Amino acid sequence: MEVYQGKSIFKGIAIGKLFFYSKGEQAVKREKIQDVEAEIARYEAAKEEAIAQLNALYEKAVKEVGEVNAAVFEVHAMMLDDDDYVDSVKNIIETQQVNAEFAVATTGDNFSNMFAEMEDDYFRARAVDVKDISERLVNVLSGRNEGSDIGEEPVIVVADDLAPSETVQMDKDKLLAFVTKYGSSNSHTAILARTMNIPALIGVEIQEDWNGKLAVVDGYEGCLYIEPEEEVLVKMKKRQQEDVEARELLQNLRGKEDVTLDGKKIRLYANIGSGKDVASVLANDAAGIGLFRSEFLYLEAEDYPDEEAQFQAYKTVAENMAGKKVIVRTLDIGADKQVGYFGLDKEENPAMGYRAIRICLDRTDVFKTQLRALLRASAFGNIAIMYPMIISVDEVRRIKAIVEEIKKELDEQGIRYGEVEQGIMIETPAAVVISDLLAEEVDFFSIGTNDLTQYTLAIDRQNMKLDNIYDAHHPAVLRMIQTTIDNGHKHGCWVGICGELGADMTLTETFVKMGIDELSVSPSCVLPIRKLIREMRVEE
């Protein structure tokens, strides 16, 4: 038996044979061509086929992992149409009179290297995306099928790394777990693994000769056992069965209150990426929706979505939730969420740039359209509105003035709207420090721990080189959360958490004892966290 240590990105036990997944990258030959126009036409046709493949992948991913996690394939499709990328390919074909495969591979290498050398972590992360889209194009041009077939029997997939497109294309009924040498716990592929409930390890020194051997992935301890001894196999099978029984027992918690043994009630809500996710919210018995990411309406549109389209989307969710609270976050694009028709400039540091509420307060016509749709939809359910990336009291007051202006317009037009709570995301150290002042302006806070952690620690959460020091449990982060809760309560605000840390069950009791009022998590985490809440005492 051999034992290897890695980093777990989803807890669980998987037992099965190992399948060594190789991309089988082919060497691209440089060939001289005679007809430049014909070669460019061949490239254009291949590009359209690659985009069609990515659109199909997007649709498949939406069904399996939701709108937000599927968005990476939309980004890849947009990158294939990027002017700089396209111009580079065409220029190489024209000036060097070479085959499209060579031009694409050269462009992919050049752009990937360029991104990898940038100081900004966001652009460094794009290096992998450029390689992925270039390999897809070369495969189409050469008539080569994508190699995501993992065979007929369930296996544990082992690879150097996996692109999101490769993970999504694998048959989920045959995928027991995956183990990779590279990757980050915050990468797209890692997020997909968690969403699909697939045990996974990263950072394992893999070997090709493992192929076909029996193995165990222990996602609890981050261990990989190759040809496990009988004692280990028995132990892991027992743990696996316990997991199945635990999931079945959780169903008994449906309909139960989210209340501690000594009577402290918590609002346990769910995060969603689109209206299609409401079914999962209801199936997992969440008390409401704590984060409705409205940007999906913009990401999937070819132009700015109009008021009526947005109204219908918000209204449908509100009606389906039948009076349960639905907290809609206003448009949060920029940084890693780019929308072509917004015409946003490339930035040195987009995570700290022109994004979210900064765009909305600058392009008030776009913002007002969304707010009108939300206020109209509030007549059909319990909608609350939440504003992202707030750093000042002035921003909140400007937002409130716009809302009052829209209410006046709706009154004059005789259009109904409901009583709408307004809150803000606490995502920056600045917002935490002045949270006492902000609390006097709004009804609630929702702490976005993903951004708050990276801004507090000055660490890009998608930079795999910094995974070993990225610590969401850092005392500074926890103090930020405590300060926000205390200041919110002193000034009449209820306080929730909607970032990934809210689903960290090692911190659930800590958050409850801090005085948190609400936790909003992925739908599948609702019942496990309900179980924890119902078994704890707040008062010692």
Query: Which residues are known catalytic residues?
Result: 188, 498
Tokens of 350: 């987009």
Helices (H) and strands (E) in the chain, counts: 19, 16
Residues in the chain: 540
User: For 229-268, b where at least 16 C-beta lie within 10 A, e where not — what string?
Assistant: eeebbeebeeebeebeeeeeebeebeeeebebeeebebbb
How many C-beta neighbours within 10 Å does residue 74 have? Answer: 21
Backbone dihedral angles phi then psi of residue 227, each to the nearest 5 degrees? 50, 65
Residue 390, token pair as written in the block: 């707030």
Q: CA–CA separation, 408 vs 174, rounded Å?
A: 57
Q: Please state, as a whole number, how many other Cβ atoms lie within 10 Å of the Cβ of residue 404.
A: 10
- How far lies 470's CA from each of 467, 475, 499, in Å? 5, 12, 15
What's the CA gap between 15 and 110, in Å, rounded?
A: 41
| DSSP sequence for 297-339 | HHHT-SS---HHHHHHHHHHHHHHTTTSEEEEEP---BTTB--
Distance CA 515, CA 481 (A): 10
Q: Which two tokens stand for residue 359?
A: 């765009």
The answer to whether 500 touches 449, Cβ cutoff 8 Å, is yes
CB contact at 8 A, 57 and 148: no
d(CA 163, CA 182): 11
Q: Sort 37 into a burial class: Cβ within 10 Å, 0-12 / 13-18 / 19+.
A: exposed
| CA 538/CA 90 separation, integer angstroms | 65
Q: Hey, how many other C-beta atoms are within 10 angstroms of the C-beta on 197?
A: 12
Q: Are 368 and 374 in contact (CB under 8 A)?
A: no
